[in-house]
Each structure stands twice: as C-alpha cells, then as structure tokens.
Amino acid sequence: MTTLITPTALAERLSRGDRIVVLDVQYNLVGTPGRELYVVAHLPGARFVDLDTELAGPPGAGGRHPLPDVAALERALRANGIDDSSAVAVYDQGTGLGSARAWWLLTYVGLSGVQVLDGGLAAWVAAGLPVSDGVAATATPGTVTVRPGALPLLDAEGAAELARTGLLLDARAAERYAGRTEPIDAVAGHIPGARNAPMSDYVDQDGRLLPREELMAFFAGRGVFEHAEVGAYCGSGITAAHLALALRQLGITAPVYVGSWSEWITDPTRPIATGDDPT
C-alpha cells in the first residue's frame, strides 16, 4: 500500500464498499478553525479530528504541539470507529499539514493502513467529487489499541546529536531558519548544524508533494542521500511530519523531533544558530 491516495482512487474504494475510516483534519494555525471548515464542506462520511486538541497534547514545556496523552488519543480514535485493522484515509483542506500530522501520529501508534488524500479536499472538489456539510452521525465505537513506537522519535538531545553526526532538516521558511524573523515563537534561529529544507520548496503551487523525481533532486541537494540517518524538525512538529511524509516517498523513514523549535527554546542553555549557514 502506498502512502498517498488520489481522489479518484479513494472515491472508487468508497463506492465499492471498502471499509475505510475517513478522517478530516482540516487545520489552520491562524484563521478559520478546522472544525468550522469541516461543517462547511467535507468528504461524505468523514469524521473531524481536531489537530490541536486530539492529535496533540496541551502546549507547554514540550512545545506547541507535543504528543497527546496515549489514553486520550485512544479514546478519540475509538470514538471515530477505528479498530486495529482499520484502513484509514486522512485529508485536510489541501495544505498537507493536518493530514501529514494525522498520518505520522497514527502510524507512530501502530496503525499500518493510513493513507493521505493527495491534494486534500481541494483536489477532491477539483475532481468533481461530492461533498457534505454539517456533522456526520456518531460512529460505531472502534476497538483500536494504540501502541506508540512504530516510528522513530527525536528528543532535544537526539536532535542535537543528529545535527552533529548525521543530517537534521529544518522544514521552516528560510527567514525563520535564519533568524531574520520569528512570527510565532519567542526566540529566532535554528538548531546548530541543522540544514534548511523549507516545505515550500518541495511542494507544487497547489500544495501537493512534487513528483518523485523532483523530490529526489531537491533532497539530494540537501545532502539526504549522503547520510545514514536523516531527521526532521520545524516550529512545533507539524511541518516536520510533512517533511517525514515527503521523505517516505523516497523510502526514507526520518525520525521527527516532535517538540521541535518551540521546545528547544524552552531551555536557555541550548545553543542557537542564526544565518543561512547550518552552523
């Protein structure tokens, strides 16, 4: 099974009655909340999952989007009808951020059949496929048991070590990486030794991942194929999950530093680099 699924392929599977749980993870850091976007338009039968409150724990010392409590996540997944063997398709409005976080987190806790709708709701609509509004009916509760650890993680120490000995990629915009601006977190800059790989450089104008050959070229230019281990971080772990999704298309499983920059800066003893050079 591939990680991405096209709107046409997903529609065909749903129309023939395949058992797929479809999760709507529309998400905005600022602007219209995802739940409101869901009510306006979503895939028929899709159930909304809130990134901030269900796919992340409360912000604090662990960053702005730390891992959620295991028991709370299990309850949320069961409430949406997910079993251990469920096939799951996730999507957002088309940014790729909400769906990437859902794909990464659900895979991390042991679900093996998670696919991302390529292009999200925007691509679904562009394909002429139907949407629903309002709120979906309550699901028959599932029985999934979450088992964290199916994907590798980085903590702050691990991220610092990987930046020294391997390749740690920073998925934030170049201006934030370099410390020229920081619109979200209290301190600007990057983890010393990390190399910038802005999300905007490996997606097309519609927000979809570039074709495999172009992804290969982009990541080769960042030195990905020169290192045995490659990790990902960003501001709070969301774009890092998207970077991990992109690398997965090339057969690379990149550990994610979930706390990312928003956790890194909570310890004033941790070093900070600025400028375009990794060091």
CA distance 80 to 47: 7
CA distance 279 to 262: 19
Q: Is 86 a catalytic residue?
A: no
β pairing state of 87-91 and 20-24: parallel
From the list 97, 117, 191, 234, the catalytic residue is 234
CA distance 275 to 19: 49
How many Cβ atoms are within 10 Å of 166's Cβ, its own excluded?
16
268: left (phi over 0), alpha (psi -120 to 50) or beta: alpha
List, in order, residues 6 or more apart from 11 with CB less than 8 Å away: 124, 127, 129
Q: Which residues are identified as catalytic?
A: 234
